[in-house]
């Protein structure tokens, strides 16, 4: 698994792209539909050009319940957590390497969940080669 990028002088660096967001005002039926959310995460991974290794999901009961999904991809991970009562979800998409594009996964998930509004952050988690 070579996710590094060759730099001048044959040093390598890791390319890390991290998109994470809070999604508000989502239809509770969507937030509570474990199967739909699993399919959405899988399709988002495909859209991003990432490689799914394993996906797990849990339906969380109770007043503050919802669905949690963790997908491990060759390039890193996607995590989606929902709180049905609050019409709220958090999303974390982290990819390493130049091939996968976490923004494509993010935009696909937005299209399906249709939040009324959201906040999104981006972190460049690339390493810097040390000579």
Q: Hey, what are 61's tokens?
A: 């009961």
In the residue annotation, 68 being an active-site residue is answered as no
Catalytic residue, candidates 10, 18, 68, 76: 76
User: What is the DSSP secondary-structure string of 47-106?
Assistant: HHT--EEEEEEEEEPSTT-EEEEEEEETTEEEEEEEETTTTEEEEEEEEESSS--HHHHH
Q: Which of 47, 36, 32 is nearest to 89 (CA)?
A: 32
Catalytic residue, candidates 10, 81, 126, 127: 81
In the residue annotation, 96 being an active-site residue is answered as yes
Distance CA 68, CA 92 (A): 12
Catalytic residue, candidates 10, 77, 96, 127: 96
In the residue annotation, 77 being an active-site residue is answered as no
As annotated, the active-site residues are 76, 81, 96
């Amino acid at each position: 698994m070579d996710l590094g990028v060759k730099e001048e002088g044959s040093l390598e660096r890791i390319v890390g792209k991290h998109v994470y967001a809070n999604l508000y005002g989502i239809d509770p039926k969507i937030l509570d539909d474990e199967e739909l959310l699993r399919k959405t995460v899988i399709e988002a991974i495909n859209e991003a050009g990432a490689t799914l290794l394993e996906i797990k999901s849990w339906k969380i009961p109770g007043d503050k319940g919802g669905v949690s999904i963790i997908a491990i991809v060759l390039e890193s991970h996607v995590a989606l957590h929902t709180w049905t009562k609050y019409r709220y979800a958090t999303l974390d998409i982290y990819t390493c390497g130049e091939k996968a594009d976490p923004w494509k996964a993010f935009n696909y998930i937005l299209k399906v969940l249709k939040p009324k509004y959201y906040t999104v952050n981006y972190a460049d988690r690339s390493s810097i080669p040390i000579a």
